[in-house]
Amino acid sequence: MDYQTLLKLAQEAKYRAYAPYSGFRVGAALLTSSGKVYLGCNVECASYAATSCAERTAIVKAVSEGELCFKAIAIASDSKTCTFPCGICRQVIVEFGEDIDIIVGTGEVDLEVFKISELLPKAFTKINIE
């Protein structure tokens, strides 16, 4: 799957967001190494700490279905600028590999690709606890 299509799926996923407090809708599309795509959206809660970001929603869906190898994740929002994963999401993404591509953009054509290792250098990973 090309990354423009993945970003388009993330843009569609944002419309499922439950964001009554911030009004900031985010969608994610996670591409697994097997080629399957899992969508996620942010789900807010009155107790903000219980809120789930779109990226983590997609990852939890994939893991719950037995997928553990990820190739890329696209992130889209209503913002006029690119929306990047928050710090917690970066930590969760790197748990599954430092070579995962992060795709951000403001439109189907306008996109940028980063490795999670670029967005979270010197990450705390499983090698730190072995």
- pTM for the whole structure: 0.95
Buried b (16+ CB within 10 A) or exposed e, 59-91: beebeeeebeebbbbbbbbbeeebbbbeeebbb
- Active-site residue, 130 included: no
Residue 42 known to bind ligand: yes
Rg (CA), the chain: 14
53 is in an annotated binding site: yes
**Confidence (pLDDT) at 109:** 63
SS3 content of the chain, % helix, strand, coil (to 5): 35, 25, 40
Asked if residue 44 belongs to a known ligand binding site, the reply is: yes
Interstrand relation of 70-77 and 101-105 (parallel, antiparallel or unpaired)? parallel
- The answer to the question of whether 86 is labelled as a binding residue is yes
Residue type at 61 in one-letter notation: K
H-type helices in the chain, by residue range? 3-13, 54-64, 87-94, 116-119
Residue pair 42/2 in contact (Cβ under 8 Å)? The answer is: no
Task: Give the pLDDT score at 127.
Answer: 84
* Residue 110 confidence (pLDDT): 82
Q: Which of 55, 65, 67, 108 is catalytic?
A: 55
Provide the pLDDT for residue 126.
85
Domains and CATH numbers, the chain: 3-128 (3.40.140.10)
Per-10-residue mean pLDDT for the chain, 130 residues long? Answer: 95 98 97 98 95 98 98 96 96 97 84 97 88
**What pLDDT is attached to residue 35?**
98
Q: What is the pLDDT of residue 41?
A: 98
pLDDT of residue 9: 97
